[in-house]
Structure 1
Amino acid sequence: MSQDELILRRFESGDSDGVWHLHRTASQDVGVCGPEGAWEDDLRHIEEVYVGSGGDFVVAHIGARLGAMGGLKPVDDDVAELKRMRVDPVFQRRGLGRRVLRELESRAVALGFKWIVLDTTTIQVGAQRLYETAGYVRCREGMLHGYAVIFYEKRLTGQDDPT
């Protein structure tokens, strides 16, 4: 994948079907895709849940194909939650997830967040590796929607430290 093929930008309404398809495809590929449910409602309302709430949502297109995505959902004034990081299985292990993650971190700093928190399932070893090599620290483990998950956090650089 050459860099000139990649277009990384904010979600637009025309991306809705592609985002839903990528979410389901990538989730099935890693074995964390159950029946559709209310826990996925945020993906039906991206403008409101992510962008309109003071966060952001980015998509990465390779040619006409949606290759990756991810969102920032505000928790409070200082903390954003990284959500819905997905990479099309066809494009995995090519640095696309890392590019989306860096873009979201940059946007989080620009939006004034000081921390990013996230969770990923214990079976998503690739995601764990991505987050840990990007400086995320494991905080605890727990259960969400019937899956064993690991909770991570990262202090963002470029922010004034009040202490």
Structure 2
Amino acid sequence: MTSWPWGRAPHPATPRPAWSTDPMEPEQEFVIRDYKPTDHEAVVALNRYGLAAAGVPEDADIYSGDLDGAGEGYLGGRSVMLVGEVKGDIVAMGGLREIGDTDCEVLRMRVRPEHQGRGLGRAILEALEARARRLGYTRAVLVTGPDQHPAIDLYSASGYEQVEVEQYGGLIGVRMAKQLS
């Protein structure tokens, strides 16, 4: 039986969005784990989807190169890539990279469209923040597009505040930050 987060099912005539906010069934348990080189192909594909959905051409990706090879930049050290799986398939991802002794950047936050709106992005973000604290970071920053309203809403609800709007080539980025300690 499906349980509704707000306590009751919507009226049957209520139109449903293309993405569902229905809780996942138990067999669709979401598992977050560290990236490993065998995930590379799935992570690159999910990243390409995220760029396309945001209207960012691959050649305009401000983080170009971090996923080259097998994504070794996220293995060990103070940079991390987490993946989220449902039934063994990678459906979400997020990265963390060092930008100073106490600052890190959250990047590559992606969730496959059929899994959006179910809290998976929030779960990845919370796991990244927990890891950042364990790694000794006290502040997290990120950049998202001004038209990425679900992402901006997620980050704002998670305590991130807009710091500035920046130009990256022909793209505009909204820089946000959060104190972790």
TM-score class normalised by the smaller sequence = 0.7 to 0.9
**Which consecutive residues of structure 2, in runs of 5 or more, have no partner in the other structure?**
1-23
Change (3 A) 1:130 1:77: same
Q: Secondary structure at the match of 1:108?
A: helix
- 1:35: Cα distance to partner? 4.1
**Which consecutive residues of structure 1, in runs of 5 or more, have no partner in the other structure?**
158-163
TM-score, scaled relative to structure 1: 0.88
Is 1:143 equivalent to 2:167 in the alignment? yes
Structure 1 range deviating more: 46-55 or 87-96: 46-55
The amino acid across from 1:79 in the alignment is D
Counterpart of 2:180?
156
Q: Secondary structure at the match of 2:41?
A: helix
- 1:38: Cα distance to partner? 8.2
In 1, Cα distance between the equivalents of 2:153 and 2:52? 19
The amino acid across from 1:71 in the alignment is G
In 2, Cα distance between the equivalents of 1:25 and 1:120? 15
The structure having more radius of gyration, on CA atoms, is 2
Q: Say if 2:80 and 2:95, in contact at 8 Å, map to a contact too.
A: yes
Q: Say if 2:40 and 2:71, in contact at 8 Å, map to a contact too.
A: no
- 1:53: Cα distance to partner? 3.8
Counterpart of 1:160?
none
Q: Say if 2:93 and 2:111, in contact at 8 Å, map to a contact too.
A: yes
- 1:69: Cα distance to partner? 0.4
Q: Say if 1:115 and 1:156, in contact at 8 Å, map to a contact too.
A: yes
Counterpart of 2:116?
92
The 5-angstrom pairing of residues 21-36 of structure 1 reads 21-35=45-59
Counterpart of 2:88?
64
- 1:143: Cα distance to partner? 1.2
Q: Say if 1:24 and 1:33, in contact at 8 Å, map to a contact too.
A: no
In 2, Cα distance between the equivalents of 1:37 and 1:142? 14
Structure 1 range deviating more: 34-43 or 141-150: 34-43
Q: Say if 1:113 and 1:156, in contact at 8 Å, map to a contact too.
A: yes
TM-score, scaled relative to structure 2: 0.80
The amino acid across from 2:89 in the alignment is R
In 1, Cα distance between the equivalents of 2:163 and 2:151? 15
Equivalent pairs, count: 157
- 1:115: Cα distance to partner? 0.4
- 1:60: Cα distance to partner? 0.1
Q: Deviation above 3 Å: which 4+ runs of structure 1?
A: 33-39, 45-48
Q: Say if 1:26 and 1:89, in contact at 8 Å, map to a contact too.
A: no
Is 1:79 equivalent to 2:103 in the alignment? yes
Q: Tell me how large the CA RMSD over aligned residues is.
A: 1.9
Q: Secondary structure at the match of 1:40?
A: coil
Alpha-carbon displacement from aligned partner over 1:52-71 (angstroms, at most 9, x marks no partner)? 34121100011122111011
